[in-house]
Amino acid sequence: MQKWELFSRGERQKKTFNRVIFVDPGLGGTGWAYWEEVCNVPHFPTRPSETGVIKGNNKSGWENKSSEINSQFAGVLNNLNVERVCIEWPAIFNTGLSHASASRGDLFKLVYVIGGLGEVSQTVTNRKPLLFSPSDWKGQLPKEVVIRRIKKIFPMMLRIRNHEGDAIGMGLAAQGALTK
């Protein structure tokens, strides 16, 4: 793992963790990747058991869309019997693009979505989710590089949807396998 710790301090020595889901949140699509077993063995990463993208109704307002995403996410957590939820938290950069996004309210909407996902996570798993920034798990890697590395590790994963790739990348980073 890089700077971030996937599990609580008492669990650091463990090599394997069960029923973990990694989440790349967004109103346009919330990607997730679920592992029955996450092993901390970089040279032999485990493949996600299931992956997906949750989307809300584009015709409803953003608050309703967020509620739809949360409802679908609760179903995913319950169906998979998830024990640990790991959610990417937005990083704020001092750039014109970040300021434009904040002035449009996109950042606040994303935080609203993440808050809902966090509440659902805690309700279903009885555990607070782990929140971390993109730089915590991928450093400065662009999305395209993350996707290329996933396909190199798992050549059978031919089609990786938007948001799904980052969720898979988070799981690989937790296993120490996202590096070159």
Residue 180 placed within a domain: no
Give domain status of residue 164, yes or no.
yes
- Rounded Cα distance between 161 and 51, Å, is 10
Domain count, the chain: 1
Nearest alpha-carbon partner for 20 in 1, 145, 3, 104: 1
Q: What does the pLDDT read at residue 104? A: 67
- Give the domain extent around 169: 9-174
Phi, psi for 39 (deg, rounded to 5): -105, 140
CATH of the domain at 170: 3.30.420.10
Q: Is residue 129 part of a domain?
A: yes
Segments in the chain below pLDDT 70? 1-15, 40-42, 92-104, 180
What does the pLDDT read at residue 180?
59
User: Is residue 2 situated within a structural domain?
Assistant: no
Residue 3 within any structural domain of the chain: no
| Stated pTM of the model | 0.86
Q: Cα–Cα distance between 38 and 7 in angstroms, integer?
A: 11
CA distance 117 to 125: 12
The dihedral region occupied by 19, where left means phi > 0, alpha psi between -120 and 50, and beta the remainder, is left
Examine residue 63 and state whether it is found in any structural domain, yes or no.
yes
Q: Is residue 168 part of a domain?
A: yes
* Residue at 39 is within a domain: yes
pLDDT score of 1: 35
Q: Is the dihedral of CA 101, 104, 110, 111 positive or negative?
A: positive
- Please report the pLDDT score of residue 109 as a whole number: 93
